[in-house]
């Protein structure tokens, strides 16, 4: 029963041309983004912002699933409707971020390990009872001088795999997110090399932990150079490097790959996703979709700025970004969409 449900949910999350919306920023991360725009960093402001997102008209046309922060799973709209119900009524599958964040990895200066496995089985049971049908865990890999180390890659891959197995046991689809960060001056080739090594380690651990690949979604970074790298490739070069890397490392049984945006400009994230689908869609075993946070939310957040009167315009901007990415899944996105 649970096994069937997992397969159905995983398929539904990447069906057609829809994708995921990550709206699971932790309180500190959300506060940081609010502070940059002078938005009050309060519980109520965060609740109101999440209400703005989930009540965006027609969002379900573009978004198959939304990843919530735990607090949001318990919250309601101003008129008293649970956020989870708003999503379900919009045809959007509720998901939940379940990791407890990244800490410094002992003995590995500059590297991180994601925590949160203790007590996870019990938490997952609760989340499933509250309506969540999928989950997310993010591992962070920092490129730098002599890093990532094998120790860091293996530790994060194993945690991702143990999380994924627990999710499937609880009837939730694990979104497995190993993120190679964009900060730094590493080249495109170096990002490709690290991403491939990380993905190979992750899939080895998923195999060892007996995770059903048909019942998971991979959420990787696109293969891009560091933000401070002097050689910045064009959109097609990023599409080629990313797909080349994924073909080497991701088994065909995985139903879908939903990229994180990682701090790329919103329109560039759409253009790169589009280029991958234009060039490769018909030849790939898995769907190439999106699971963006910043690349969908940022323009809307900048319009909202905490003011109720800005909600309709912010929702329009949010829908626009979700729509651009839906169109990019079909390989039909053009820059003209940004000026319409």
Binding-site ranges for ligand 13P (CB under 6 A): 22, 138, 177, 260-262, 292-295
Query: Which of 125, 126, 120, 73 lies closest to 96, judged by CA?
Result: 73
* H or E element that contains 166: helix 150-169
**Smallest separation (angstroms) from ligand 13P to the CB of 220:** 11
- Tokens 């996105």 correspond to 333
Q: Which residues contact 114 (CB under 8 A, 6 or more apart)?
A: 99, 100, 101, 102, 137, 138, 139, 140, 156, 159, 160
Q: Closest CB to ligand 13P among 171 and 262?
A: 262
Burial of 119 (C-beta count, 10 Å sphere; 0-12/13-18/19+): exposed
Q: Closest CB to ligand 13P among 269 and 339?
A: 269
Burial of 31 (C-beta count, 10 Å sphere; 0-12/13-18/19+): middle
**Smallest separation (angstroms) from ligand 13P to the CB of 322:** 13
Helices 27-35 & 43-54 angle (0-180, nearest 10): 90
Q: Closest CB to ligand 13P among 23 and 150?
A: 23
Burial of 192 (C-beta count, 10 Å sphere; 0-12/13-18/19+): buried
177 is catalytic: yes
Q: Closest CB to ligand 13P among 131 and 262?
A: 262
Q: Closest CB to ligand 13P among 81 and 116?
A: 116
**Smallest separation (angstroms) from ligand 13P to the CB of 1:** 29
338 is catalytic: no
Distance of alpha carbon 292 from alpha carbon 289, whole angstroms: 10
Q: Closest CB to ligand 13P among 5 and 227?
A: 227
- Tokens 């048909």 correspond to 214
Q: Which residues contact 275 (CB under 8 A, 6 or more apart)?
A: 235, 236, 238, 239
Give the three-class secondary structure for 186: coil
**Smallest separation (angstroms) from ligand 13P to the CB of 219:** 7
**Smallest separation (angstroms) from ligand 13P to the CB of 262:** 4
**Smallest separation (angstroms) from ligand 13P to the CB of 279:** 22
Distance of alpha carbon 233 from alpha carbon 36, whole angstroms: 29
Longest CA–CA separation in the chain, Å: 53
Which member of 177, 179, 196, 197 is catalytic? Answer: 177
Give helix then strand counts, H and E, for the chain: 12, 10
Distance of alpha carbon 134 from alpha carbon 22, whole angstroms: 12
Q: Closest CB to ligand 13P among 105 and 222?
A: 222
Give catalytic residue positions: 177, 219
């Amino acid at each position: 029963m649970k096994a069937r449900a997992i397969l159905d949910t995983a398929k539904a999350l990447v069906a057609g041309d829809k994708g995921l919306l990550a709206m699971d920023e932790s309180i500190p991360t959300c506060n940081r983004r609010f502070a940059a725009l002078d938005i009050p960093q309060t519980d109520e402001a965060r609740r109101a912002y999440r209400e703005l997102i989930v009540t965006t008209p027609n969002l379900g046309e573009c978004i198959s699933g939304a990843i919530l922060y735990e607090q949001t799973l318990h919250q309601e709209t101003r008129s008293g409707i649970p956020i989870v119900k708003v999503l379900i009524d919009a045809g959007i599958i509720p998901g939940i971020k379940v990791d407890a964040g990244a800490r410094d990895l002992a003995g590995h200066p500059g590297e991180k390990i994601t925590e949160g496995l203790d007590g996870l089985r019990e938490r997952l049971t609760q989340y499933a009872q509250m309506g969540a049908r999928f989950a997310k865990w993010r591992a962070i890999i920092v490129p730098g001088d002599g890093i990532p180390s094998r120790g860091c890659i293996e530790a994060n891959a194993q945690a991702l795999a143990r999380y994924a197995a627990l999710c499937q046991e609880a009837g939730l689809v694990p979104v497995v997110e190993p993120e190679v960060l964009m900060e730094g001056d590493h080249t495109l080739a170096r990002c490709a090399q690290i991403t491939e090594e990380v993905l190979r380690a992750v899939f080895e651990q998923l195999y060892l932990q007996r995770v059903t690949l048909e019942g998971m979604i991979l959420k990787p970074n696109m293969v891009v150079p560091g933000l401070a790298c002097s050689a910045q490739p064009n959109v097609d070069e990023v599409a080629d490097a990313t797909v080349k890397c994924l073909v080497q490392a991701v088994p065909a049984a995985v139903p879908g790959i939903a990229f994180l945006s990682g701090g790329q400009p919103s329109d560039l994230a759409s253009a790169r996703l589009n280029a991958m689908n234009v060039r490769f869609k018909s030849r790939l075993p898995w769907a190439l979709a999106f699971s963006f946070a910043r690349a969908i939310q940022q323009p809307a957040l900048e319009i909202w700025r905490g003011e109720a009167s800005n909600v309709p315009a912010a929702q329009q901007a949010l829908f626009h970004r979700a729509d651009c990415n839906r169109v990019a899944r079909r390989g039909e996105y053009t820059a003209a969409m940004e000026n319409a």
